[in-house]
Structure 1
């Protein structure tokens, strides 16, 4: 999960460079991600034992694709277009909180003091990092803010958190490659009607080597590799713990931006990274439902 979110953190400034250059719209970049990942996962499936997916599970995989890929990416792309980048970044910190609430309702995972404290500490670090990178955001971004944009970004986080919780046990039925090849196939088919005209209007011959290199990183690293790692993490981590690694994204994005000269280094960034790491640690060491039940079974009544 840490590696996947670190890659997504690197992908953020790379994608911004491609979109800001005017080479491709955000919708085209998203569709390229889906198409490229679909092809790569299908190619990878030829190197493993064929796996049959029954019709009932195929319907579940389609739902998983809608929640984790189509709705998550779709809501976020259109949401960012309607609200400010700062608002969108701040709202993304709600994902671990949503995952914790859904885990408590659906998986009956306990909400412990360490989880709440860890999420609060991590969110504080993420907010320090985001606001510190936009020192004038408090006054100069409100003109572009739109409540519907904020709502769409919240829905993007909710759809991903719902997928992470609802399909926690389901992802163990099939291999990572089988799950991902079908999820990205469904995602590409679902988004193609909306992106078809944009794909035709894109001037592909104007793409230089740097643009193609950036797109290759977005597809191979930011989609194929990262989603592969997400499934591995989903199988082995509790949803709340997995969600906490969401805070790694702004930290890595900030470090990359500093390295590429797109941002400045200051003390607030050190504080933010320490808070994020501390928050992840607290949630990671918090007790799971199984640990709480085993603890009570021993007759120990301490919290």
Structure 2
């Protein structure tokens, strides 16, 4: 037993590294999307469609090669309708609203606003269970609202620091993140996450297939294509692989807290590389929103990680 405990402790840093690098890749992919929207005028809906379809195929291929199980088992089990609902009401909007928020604003603020997801989960669970939120939940709500106020107004009540569409899409990204977290729970209890998420991505991509086929961006450079490939492979498939690996060594609550590296990375890249300007009130507001994620992770609530 002591040897097993020692082995677990020695492997914990590996799990932490997996979680950090995985969430950093998610954060970088948001900044790469901002670059593509600005420099190549790539449509957010086209990029979402390409990302979902390509990453979904990669995840299903990974599952098939790793397990040698049938890709159709989830449909034969009678749970296909749950998967369709998750794909269309969870996966698709979580991706689309996030990229729309980036296109109207920037990767840093879009990623932070997406982290309002726990706030909407608290509200939903309180309503569904017909009971008031816990004290820690009430504190999280107040902190999240204060952080959002600072982020979108810079402390000025009469004006917005972000465009109204950026604020609306960012808040919707938070709502979608909540549905993305809640909807697949019954499926994840019975099926491999790669199977669930891979199929959900492909189902979600169907909405955008006409856009993908008919609205290919013109005059894409090599750097543009490398950015697209990174978003699909590095910012989705590999990031998700690292996240799954981290769960083998550390608790989901620890992974939830380490997910703060996603908006941190998006902010550093957006400001340092893309030249995005953030005022001090925006930085403080973003930090307060991320604090709610840490507060919610302390009780070890199990949420599936990642936006993307």
Alpha-carbon deviations, 1:160-208, whole Å to 9, x = none? 3123123224212111221122112212223213443213xx23xx333
Match of 1:180 among 187, 193, 197: 197
Q: Counterpart of 1:211? A: 224
Q: Partner of 2:67: helix, strand, or coil?
A: coil
Distance 1:20 1:288, change over 3 A: closer
Q: Aligned to 2:79, what secondary structure does the other structure show?
A: helix
Do the aligned partners of 2:22 and 2:238 also contact (CA within 8 Å) in 1? yes
Q: Classify 1:7/1:176 alpha carbon distance in 2 versus 1 (closer, same or farther; 3 Å).
A: same
TM-score under structure 2 length normalisation: 0.68
Q: How does 1:77-226 map to 2 (within 5 A)?
A: 77=99, 92-106=114-128, 111-121=133-143, 124=146, 128=150, 139=159, 145=164, 153-199=170-216, 202-203=217-218, 206-226=219-239
Residue by residue over 1:15-37, the C-alpha shift from the partner in whole angstroms, topping out at 9 and shown as x without a partner, is 11112112522222112201220
Contact 2:111–2:262 at 8 Å: present in 1 too? no
* Aligned positions, number: 276
Say what the alpha-carbon RMSD is for the aligned residues.
Answer: 4.3
Between the aligned partners of 2:238 and 2:49, the Cα distance in structure 1 is 17
Query: What SS is found at the alignment partner of 1:207?
Result: coil
The 1-side partners of 2:88 and 2:94 are apart by: 8
Q: Distance in 2 between matches of 1:137 and 1:4?
A: 37
- The answer on whether the counterparts of 2:40 and 2:220 sit within 8 Å (CA) in structure 1 is no
Distance 1:145 1:270, change over 3 A: closer
Q: Distance in 2 between matches of 1:64 and 1:95?
A: 16
Task: Note if contact 1:4-1:230 (Cα within 8 Å) is conserved in structure 2.
Answer: yes
Q: Corresponding residue for 2:69? A: 50
Which of these residues, 22, 47, 55, is aligned with residue 29 of structure 1? 47
SS in structure 1 at match of 2:78: helix
The answer to whether residue 81 in structure 2 is matched with residue 62 in structure 1 is no
- 1:299 matched to which residue of 2? none
1:20-77, CA deviations, whole angstroms, 9 ceiling, x for partnerless residues? 1125222221122012202212321223231422252111111111122222333455
- Deviation of 1:248 after TM superposition, in Å, equals 4.9
Provide TM-score, normalisation by structure 1: 0.69
Query: Structure 1 regions of 5+ residues with no counterpart?
Result: 290-303
Whole-angstrom distance in 2 between the partners of 1:75 and 1:209:
27
